[in-house]
Copies of this chain bind each other. A is one copy, B any other.
Amino acid sequence: MQTGKGLLLKADPIAAVFRDEVKASLSRASRRPRLVGILATSSAPSKFYAEFTKKQCEDLGVEFILKKTGAADTGDLGEGEGVEEAIIEANEDENVDGIMVYYPIFGPQQDHYLQQVVSPYKDVEGLHFKFHYNLYHNIRFIEPQSLLSSSVPSAASAGVVESEDPPPGTAKSIIPCTPLAIVKCLEHVGVYNKILPYGDRAYGRTITVINRSEVVGRPLAALLANDGARVFSADIDSIQEYTKRPRVAGAADASARRYHPRHVVHPTAASLQECLALSDVVISAVPTAAYKVKTAWLKDGCVCVNVAADKNFESDVRDKASLYIPAVGKVTILMLLRNLLRLQQYKAVV
């Protein structure tokens, strides 16, 4: 039995790898990209994040313009006032390469509306429906022109993953920043197994994701399951299992043993305690300070990742976890800048 504490891994060394990659790409770019940040509320965390984005951009040589509107501006405007107009203006400005909006503003429903107003060609956060649709359908490579169309790609194009390199005429689809940052952290710490073929490198891992929002939890569960993991997606009122593998592993018919081109979702009768007992990895993103994953329920030697602003793990988490990543924000911002560079590629093709 292991008696030592698990490793505390801050995101800095993971971020450093991507910082170098983004820097190298920027040095090859013909033009310094311009990112517009839109701050429309008086929320302190949003203001802090806006300043953080600005500093990161300046360090790396990306032009960052902060546009303040609504309660973030000086006038007597309300929370969020003018934000839609600011997005439309940035959409129509040819000199703007990327747009990020500091959410939450109005709450999930109205914010989801705003996320569709941002042009997919400038959507560095990857929150547009088109990108979510691709993610859920395991469509990894897209023809950038296809973003011009309101219709969704045929289901037949899902899950065709031959290699990590996009086929000619295509580029990688944009993936929402936060789920992508978490996947990159899991790659870094070896949860993804590079010996396995691309598109199936999380095979063999059981992962619990706590939170099923459209911004973090659901896309993350889908990404991990599309990469081969068995995922328990836990929300306040239900637990679901995301997997692309057949449920009856021992089926006699070979076709019944083939896995799906993308994840499928089933309800599960397992409790959170039962899911955690099976989980090699536990990721929690519950936006309330009161919520804590019980250390006693964790599997010995598991990997824990906290995504919430207020820590979702108890202070003794490393008594059980072999590895604990307390925050991923520093990786998230680099994923955003990576998306900005990818969107510039799209533009070159369209």
Q: Which residues of A contact B (CB under 8 A)?
A: 77-79, 81, 84-85, 88, 91-92, 108-110, 112-113, 116-117, 119-120, 129-130, 132-133, 136, 147-152, 154-155, 212-214, 218, 240, 265-267
Which listed residue (B112, B132, B147, B265) contacts A81, Cβ 8 A? B265
Most buried by B among A78, A109, A119: A109
CA distance A38 to B212 in the complex (A): 23
Which listed residue (B78, B92, B109, B113) contacts A240, Cβ 8 A? B78
CA distance A149 to B150 in the complex (A): 5
In contact, A266 and B149 (Cβ under 8 angstroms): no
**Interfacial chain B residues near A85, Cβ < 8 Å:** 155
A268, chain B: closest CB distance, angstroms: 9
**Interfacial chain B residues near A151, Cβ < 8 Å:** 91, 119, 148
**Interfacial chain B residues near A120, Cβ < 8 Å:** 150
CA distance A267 to B75 in the complex (A): 13
Which listed residue (B78, B150, B240) contacts A150, Cβ 8 A? B150
In contact, B267 and A78 (Cβ under 8 angstroms): yes
In contact, B148 and A149 (Cβ under 8 angstroms): yes
CA distance A150 to B119 in the complex (A): 8
In contact, B266 and A78 (Cβ under 8 angstroms): yes
CA distance A267 to B81 in the complex (A): 9
CA distance A79 to B268 in the complex (A): 12
A70, chain B: closest CB distance, angstroms: 10
* Contacts A/B (CB < 8 Å), 21 sampled: A77-B266, A78-B265, A78-B266, A78-B267, A81-B265, A81-B267, A84-B136, A85-B155, A88-B152, A91-B152, A92-B154, A108-B108, A109-B112, A109-B213, A110-B214, A112-B214, A113-B214, A117-B133, A117-B152, A119-B151, A150-B150
In contact, A116 and B119 (Cβ under 8 angstroms): no
Which listed residue (B84, B117, B150, B240) contacts A147, Cβ 8 A? B150
**Interfacial chain B residues near A266, Cβ < 8 Å:** 77-78, 81
> Contacts A108-B108, A155-B85, A240-B78 given: A113-B91 contact, CB under 8 Å?
no
In contact, A218 and B110 (Cβ under 8 angstroms): yes
Please name 4 further chain A to chain B contacts, defined as beta carbons within 8 Å, in addition to the given A108-B109, A116-B116, A117-B133, sorted by A numbering. A109-B213, A113-B129, A116-B129, A148-B151
**Interfacial chain B residues near A79, Cβ < 8 Å:** 267
Which listed residue (B110, B147, B150) contacts A148, Cβ 8 A? B150
